[in-house]
Structure 1
Amino acid sequence: MNQKRPKYMQIIDAAVEVIAENGYHQSQVSKIAKQAGVADGTIYLYFKNKEDILISLFKEKMGQFIERMEEEVKEKTTAKEKLALVIKQHFSLLGNDRHLAIVTQLELRQSNIKLRLKINDILKGYLNMLDTILTEGIKSGEWKDNLDVRLARQMIFGTIDETVTTWVMNDQKYDLPALSDKVLELLVSGIHQN
């Protein structure tokens, strides 16, 4: 079945809203169906169960983001410009969709180990993109030549992730995308060639 059909995305979008508002464990498939404007049985034409919906929504939303970023970073010249773009777009994506931010930062983390492993598979594309940016920066002389790429990637992803989580936990009271330049400068100061 073609998963890109409008009803599939309608259900995904409804699931983001319902899970963000009610929490994953309190979100029944019937609530998602009602929010999507479809019959309960229609959900099962596209998804096996609620867990499948959660995995699919992460795959769709983050998968689209990662694909877009992989294309957009190609248009930038320097590793710093590429990293700036990733940070800014990450903060913009979640800063402009509070429901998605709640789901990705809070609800996905409360899921079982099997679910988290599937989500980690999706994140590999994001982490590989960061690795590529870091490696390019080493080769171009922008970053330290002895930079530990894996550790730097963990530092960058961890900082981005924690910044978004803190924003969510503070009820989104400030402008998340406005922090992108400050976060970039903090991160670059640790990896930049002196």
Structure 2
Amino acid sequence: MTKPREAKYQAILDAATEAFAEYGYYSCQVSKIAKLAGVADGTIYLYFKNKEDILVSLFSDRMGQFIEEIRQAIVHCKTTQERILCIIRTHLKCMQENRALAMVTQIEIRQSDPKIREAISGPLRGYFQLIEEVLTQGVEKEEIMLTDIKIGRQMFFGTLDATISDWVTSKKPRSLEGVDDIVFGLMCGAFKISI
């Protein structure tokens, strides 16, 4: 894509994130996304086939950025302990900085039909693979104890996922500050990491 086209594409995804978070995927009209993006309704269809395509593209694009941010951050980590803490902190920071995206990923995508869930499974598998790579390296270096990498990844991701789900659905808004240390403490206990 050319730069102006890419900028408009990103603006539409940003607007869709806000609109889906505010109105819900099913109640949100494409015209609301267009209005928030500052484009004509028809412009949306130059970039996306339909509202479903917008949701899938939003998740794929943002999840791709998210995974890349984590990959870049863990490059500087020397131990498995540091990599696990880095993933936790980056995950929580990204969600805290973009509550609307957190709402879309935690609520709207789960309520979507199976076809949408299948379409977004690729980027999510990328995140799972990243976590499994870190855990596998930790086992190989004898920095953590874990007999089943898949179960370890499910527990690790599940803890982060449940934490964010609780945060976005809470009736009283609160900060995620300090939650990283709590989650890390749980992972240390589960993976037998000495602090």
Fold match by TM threshold 0.5: yes
Map of 2:160 onto structure 1: 160
Q: Deviations over 1:88-144 (max 9, x none)?
A: 111111112111111010011000101101111111111111011101111111111
Q: 1:138 to 1:172 in 2, by over 3 A?
A: farther
Q: Which 10-residue stretch deviates more, 146-155 or 18-27? A: 146-155
Task: After the TM superposition, list the runs of 4 or more consecutive aligned residues in structure 1 that deviate by more than 6 angstroms.
Answer: none
Name the % identity: 45
Q: 1:193 to 1:163 in 2, by over 3 A?
A: closer
Q: 1:60 to 1:172 in 2, by over 3 A?
A: farther
Aligned AA (1:188)? C
For 1:54 and 1:172, the matched residues in 2 are separated by 27
Structure 2, unpaired ranges of 5+: none
Any residues of structure 2 matched to 1:1-194 within 5 Å, and which?
1=1, 5-144=6-145, 146-171=146-171, 173-192=173-192
Aligned AA (1:164)? I
Q: Quote the offset at 1:41 in angstroms.
A: 0.6
Q: Quote the offset at 1:178 in angstroms.
A: 2.2
For 1:9 and 1:55, the matched residues in 2 are separated by 14
Residues 88, 177 of structure 1: 8 Å contact kept: no
Q: Quote the offset at 1:172 in angstroms.
A: 6.0
Aligned AA (2:62)? K
For 2:103 and 2:172, the matched residues in 1 are separated by 10
Residues 16, 100 of structure 1: 8 Å contact kept: yes
Residues 11, 37 of structure 2: 8 Å contact kept: yes
Q: Over the residues paired in the alignment, what is the CA RMSD in angstroms?
A: 1.5
Aligned AA (2:130)? M
Q: 1:175 to 1:5 in 2, by over 3 A?
A: same
Q: Quote the offset at 1:193 in angstroms.
A: 5.5
Residues 141, 193 of structure 1: 8 Å contact kept: no
Aligned AA (1:53)? I
Q: Quote the offset at 1:2 in angstroms.
A: 5.0
Q: Deviations over 1:155-193 (max 9, x none)?
A: 000000000000111046221142011101111211126
Q: Quote the offset at 1:61 in angstroms.
A: 1.1
Structure 1, unpaired ranges of 5+: none
Q: Which 10-residue stretch deviates more, 50-59 or 63-72? A: 63-72
For 1:5, what is the secondary structure of its paired residue? helix
Residues 147, 191 of structure 1: 8 Å contact kept: no
Aligned AA (2:164)? V
Q: Quote the offset at 1:151 in angstroms.
A: 0.3
For 2:154 and 2:65, the matched residues in 1 are separated by 22
